[in-house]
Amino acid sequence: MAPLSFGQVIPVTGPNLGFPGTISRQGERVVPARVFTPFSAAYNLNFGDPAVLINTATGGVWTSVADAVNNAVANIALVATQFAGMAVREVQTQLAYPFGAGIQPGDLQVGYYAPGQMAEVLERGNGTVMVSVANSPTSGAPVYTRVVANGAVTAGTVGDWEVGAPAATDLFSVAVGAGAAAAGQAVIPFASTANIQVGQVVSGIGVPAGSYVVSLIANTSVTISQNLTVASAAGALITFSNLVLAPNTAMRTGAVDVNSVAEITFKIRNQA
């Protein structure tokens, strides 16, 4: 009879970079603690999730990008301006032995902070996150979080992490149509609004930072969330994105492991 073996085999060609939400021991680490207070009690803050700071009179609370965006389209501006960092993994004890309940040895389990719990977020330093979409990532590549779903990128989900160059259907530019767009107004004309969706982040000449698409008008115009600061002439390019670029954040490892985990760096503290 063959001898019994114990443990879980780990492929030598694809070792795990770490569990989501783990902080690297290299370099400086800034990890403030605040209460996790989502807009909807249906949401948890998973370890490694991108977090948003909601300002309050008592010093602010955390929520997740997914909770913020799914609560209201207007919160997309909040994601762009109040992005904080990565929810940090904490040690948790399993009160019940999990095997036999759909969980097998070696399965990757992601813990979370529940609503009302004190949560820690890495605002500066290096940490590991789950990556949904990776397009030829390299060390130093940009890091994004998704705010609008895209049927052409089925792996991407609102509130995830994505690295590398965005797909052409996630980040694209459209020329302003005839008639141009005057300063002080929020309506921009286009020959067609194909691929433009409510909630997409908008940038371009005269478009204030943090603007997003509020509505589409008869497939020929778009209303954005803020008035143009200067006129945008016919032919000028306006950029639309289903992703928010995580500010001052970049890939560190240049690779995503077999468990879809990568290490990213928060270069400076975005929130205080």
**Residue 5 · residue 83 · CB < 8 Å:** no
- CB proximity list for 92: less than 8 A, separation 6 or greater: 111
**Residue 260 · residue 130 · CB < 8 Å:** yes
Output the pLDDT for position 264.
Answer: 94
Sign of the torsion angle spanned by Cα atoms 193, 197, 198, 204: negative
Output the pLDDT for position 257.
Answer: 87
What does the DSSP assignment read for 40-53?
STT--EETT-EEEE
Distance CA 216, CA 218 (A): 7
CA nearest neighbour of 83 among 94, 69, 72, 102: 69
Output the pLDDT for position 227.
Answer: 97
Per-residue pLDDT of the chain (272 residues; tens, 9 = 90+): 555 555 655 554 455 777 899 998 777 889 999 999 999 999 999 999 999 999 999 889 999 999 999 999 999 999 988 999 999 998 665 545 555 566 666 666 678 999 999 999 999 999 999 999 998 888 899 999 999 999 999 999 999 999 999 999 999 999 999 878 889 999 999 999 989 999 999 999 999 998 999 999 988 899 999 999 999 899 999 999 999 999 999 998 888 888 899 999 999 887 75
123: left (phi over 0), alpha (psi -120 to 50) or beta: alpha
- Provide the 3-class DSSP secondary structure of residue 67: helix
CA angle 159, 161, 162 (to 5 degrees): 125
What structural domains and CATH numbers belong to the chain?
Answer: 33-90+103-166+245-266 (no CATH), 171-241 (2.40.30)
Q: What is the DSSP letter of 234?
A: T
